[in-house]
Amino acid sequence: MILSSAGKPFKNKSGATNTIRIKNIAGEPVEIEGGWAIQANQAKDVKCPGCKQSFHETTDEYNPDTVANPSMLTLKAKYMEWGWENVPADATAGFGCLECPECGHPLAPNGKLEVI
């Protein structure tokens, strides 16, 4: 866990650039911009390569460096309210079963999701 200069757990503020204060080996304060901490858990839109629309967003499991699996994305709340079926969050299932609910195009034809 990353602690703030006050020794409290670091909290994300939406849109704000967080600054983490640490000390270097000489005991002098060093400031590090901690924007990465927000981006790691920020949901990104998953774009369908077929119809270019976005019905899903990424989850915390999303990793652009590995092949996609159904646990990396979730149907946006708006479409779940419409009664559309979400993808089962099964990390062992392949990317081949990821299809666009609108046009049926594979969401990760080469194993990688297109995120915006």
Q: What residues line the site for Zn ion (CB under 5 A)?
A: 48, 50-51, 100, 102-103, 105
Q: Could you tell me the smallest distance in angstroms from the CB atom of residue 79 to Zn ion? A: 12
Quick one: tokens of 91? 């990390």
C-beta of 31 vs 102, nearer to Zn ion: 102
Q: Quote the CA–CA distance of 116 and 100 in Å, as a whole number.
A: 16
Q: Could you tell me the smallest distance in angstroms from the CB atom of residue 51 to Zn ion? A: 3
Q: Could you tell me the smallest distance in angstroms from the CB atom of residue 103 to Zn ion? A: 3
DSSP conformational letter for 52: -
Helix and strand numbers, DSSP H then E, in the chain: 2, 6
C-beta of 50 vs 111, nearer to Zn ion: 50
* b/e sequence 36-64, b meaning 16+ C-beta within 10 Å: eeeeeeeebebbbeeeeebbbbbeeebee
C-beta of 72 vs 98, nearer to Zn ion: 98
C-beta of 30 vs 80, nearer to Zn ion: 80
Q: Could you tell me the smallest distance in angstroms from the CB atom of residue 52 to Zn ion? A: 7
